[in-house]
Amino acid sequence: NFNENDLSRVVEADRANVWHHLIQHQPFFTGADPKIIIEGKGLRVWDQKGIEHVDAVSGGVWTVNVGYGRESMGDAVRDAIVKMNFFGGTVGSIPGALFAEKLLTKMPGLSRIYYANSGSEANEKAFKMVRQIAHKRYGGRKHKILYRDRDYHGTTIACLSAGGQDERNAQYGPYTPGFVRVPHCLEYRKHEQEGAPDQNYGEWAANQIEEIILREGPDTVGALCLEPVTAGGGVIVPPEGYWPRVQEICRKYDILLHIDEVVCGVGRTGTWFGYQHYGIEPDMVTMAKGVASGYAAISCLATTEAVFDMFKDDASDHMNYFRDISTFGGCTAGPAAALENMRIIEDENLLENTVEMGGYMLGKLGELKDKHDVIGDVRGKGLFLGAELVKDRDSRDPAEEAKVQAVVKDCMAQAVVIGATNRSLPGKNNTLCFSPALIATKDDIDHICAAVDGALTRVFG
Ligand code: PLP
């Protein structure tokens, strides 16, 4: 209920005091007012000028899966925190116990939930478990963690050590030892990989991982950490044959398979978890963004009973437990919001909607590709989609980043919020990305695609 004067005061307070995430601030001081988003409902948000935007990226970072302005989410959080807001994670809470129980019904084969606050933190905890298992079981040797080119696992130094996106990593080293990179599996860019075959690329890409394991020594490798569908690295859907071979390799060398579902988890790709498209059985799964759709901060690390067992096999050893804590991890607001978030997804059949609308949107992006030569590839799963822009379709050289950003800006000027990513190399952010809330309708998708169509025409002709 702020009036215009209040809001211009907020804009100035923001400009003068807030250091925003992941942006260059110079335009703040020389250009237009910073944008303040003041309200949301469904797929739409309103800024300080009252302009209504269609949000095609769920809060910028693939998060608000059930959409904005849900009263029942607010009620769930309020009820939980007024009754008992916090008593730490060493004891139980009603929402914590009930959400873990419910979540595990969606993840056959996994049986324990460890709570944290953010995707980075959940991944750090998984890395720590791998390291502790190496010490407990393998005299410290099996400590290496493999990660993939173009994947991202978070913002802390250990997560960046497992980060496959050089734009994000540059200038924050030196990094933590014991993390080893394996190649990406983006079929559209396989021409950049020496020896990549025309057929069976998925299996070939997985075999590259085995070669690295053999080079490092299988007895030194504890875990392989992968995104099921790579998000910030350019919306990379793994090719057929990739995942079964990855699973086989992990089993062969006794390597834990850690799937980072921070983006894909809780419905984004049309299944509860991205890995469930591929019939694999991970040992550890991390998740964050869509778990509570941004109504409260929560992340989870799910493990198998076998992983949990490794920490309870000798109660007389006072070091034999996971010596890790997270003050706010799992405090009641998070799991209470997550329970309600899951109820909404089930009651409103949002997984089914995601499959249907994802298929519809992929078709629409395909039509845009037919019309605009600058689109080299469209890909995605569920409501998690990308359109890679190239200078020309033969060379597949990435389109100039300034022009890609001009497309994003043009959409914003039409009050449609989209993203552009890749982050593998500075200056190569050439993939437009789309991840509307799982409640999206055909009309919403038509609206988003019409804005992109107009923007591509204006920027690229
Ligand atoms: N893992 C993936 C795949 C992500 O995309 C992100 C963030 O974008 C993270 C982990 C880190 O999550 P957070 O920003 O909540 O720490």
Ligand 1 site-directed mutation target among 262, 423, 435, most atoms within 8 Å of CB: 262
Q: How far apart are CA 92 and CA 99, in angstroms?
A: 12
As for how many domains the chain has, the answer is 2
In a domain, 8, yes or no: no
For ligand 1, what atom is nearest to the CA of residue 120?
Answer: 16
DSSP states of 186-209 as a string?
A: -GGGGGGSTT--SS-HHHHHHHHH
Residues 281 and 376 occupy one common structural domain: no
At 311-366, the pLDDT tens digits run: 886 777 778 889 999 999 989 999 999 999 999 999 999 999 999 999 999 999 99
CA atoms within 13 A of residue 195's CA, in its CB half-sphere: 6
Are residues 50 and 196 located together in one domain of the fold? Answer: no
CA angle 247, 168, 26 (to 5 degrees): 155
Q: How many angstroms separate the alpha carbon of residue 228 from the centre of ligand 1?
A: 13
CA of 385 to the centre of ligand 1 (A): 17
Q: What stretch of H or E contains 396? A: none
Q: Is the pLDDT of residue 28 over 90?
A: no
62 CA → ligand 1 middle, Å: 10
Q: Provide the domain limits for residue 306.
A: 72-347
| Residue of 449 and 25 predicted with greater confidence | 449
User: What is the DSSP code string of 59-78?
Assistant: IIII--TT-B--HHHHHHHH
Which pLDDT does position 344 carry in this prediction? 98
Buried b (16+ CB within 10 A) or exposed e, 42-57: bbbbbbbeeeebbbbb
> Within this chain, do residues 144 and 264 fall inside the same structural domain, yes or no?
yes
Mean pLDDT of the chain: 95
Residue with the nearest Cα to atom 1 of ligand 1?
153
Confidence of residue 34 (pLDDT cuts 50, 70, 90): confident
CATH number of the domain at 51, please: 3.90.1150.10
116 pLDDT higher than 90: yes
Which of 263, 273, 423 to probe ligand 1 with, by most ligand atoms within 8 A of CB?
263
Tell me, yes or no, whether 102 and 236 share the same domain: yes
pLDDT one-digit tens code per residue, 154-175: 999 999 999 999 888 999 999 9
pTM for the model stands at 0.97
Q: Pick the last residue of a domain from 347, 365, 397.
A: 347
Rounded Cα gap, residues 297 and 329, in angstroms: 9
What pLDDT sits at residue 1? Answer: 65
Nearest ligand 1 atom, CA 123: 10
For the chain, how big is the Rg over CA atoms in Å?
22
Note the pLDDT of residue 145.
98
Pocket residues: Cβ below 6 A from ligand 1: 61, 118-120, 123, 152-155, 227, 231-232, 260, 262-263, 288
Domain assignment present for residue 98? The answer is yes
CATH number at residue 261: 3.40.640.10
Ligand 1 geometric centre to CA of 55 (Å): 19
Q: Are residues 144 and 252 in the same domain?
A: yes
Q: How confident is the model at residue 426 (pLDDT cuts 50, 70, 90)?
A: low
User: Pick the residue with more confidence: 180 or 24?
Assistant: 180
Distance 190 CA to ligand 1 centre (A): 25
Residue 30: inside a domain, yes or no? no
CB distance 268 to 57 below 8 Å:
no
Task: Report the half-sphere exposure of 131 (CA within 13 A, side-chain side).
Answer: 14
List, in sequence order, every residue forming a beta bridge with 240; answer none if it has no partner: none
Segment 266-285 shows an average pLDDT of: 98
Buried b (16+ CB within 10 A) or exposed e, 257-273: bbbbbbbbbbbbbbbbb
| Residues of the chain above pLDDT 70, percent | 98
Q: How far is the CA of 153 from the centre of ligand 1 (A)?
A: 5
Please report the atom of ligand 1 found closest to the CA of residue 288: 15
Q: Which of 314, 347, 380 is the last residue of a domain?
A: 347
Determine contact, residues 86/331, Cβ cutoff 8 Å: yes
The pLDDT assigned to 3 comes to 81
Q: What is the DSSP letter of 239?
A: P
What is the distance in A from the centroid of ligand 1 to the CA of 110?
A: 21
Beta-bridge mates of residue 223: 145, 256
Two structure tokens written together for 316 = 């007389």
Q: What local confidence, expressed as pLDDT, does residue 369 receive?
A: 98
Q: pLDDT tens digits, residue range 367-418?
A: 999 999 999 999 999 999 999 999 999 999 999 999 999 999 999 999 999 9
- Tell me, yes or no, whether 336 and 431 share the same domain: no
Q: Which residue's CA is the closest to the ligand 1 atom numbered 9?
A: 154
Cα 422 to ligand 1 centroid, rounded to whole Å: 14
Percent of the chain with pLDDT over 90: 87
- Is the complex ipTM more than 0.90? yes
Final residue of a structural domain among 308, 329, 347: 347
Question: Quick one: 415 and 426 in the same domain?
Answer: yes
CA–CA separation, 231 and 298 (whole Å): 19
Confidence of residue 460 (pLDDT cuts 50, 70, 90): very high
Atom of ligand 1 at shortest distance to CA of 230? 3
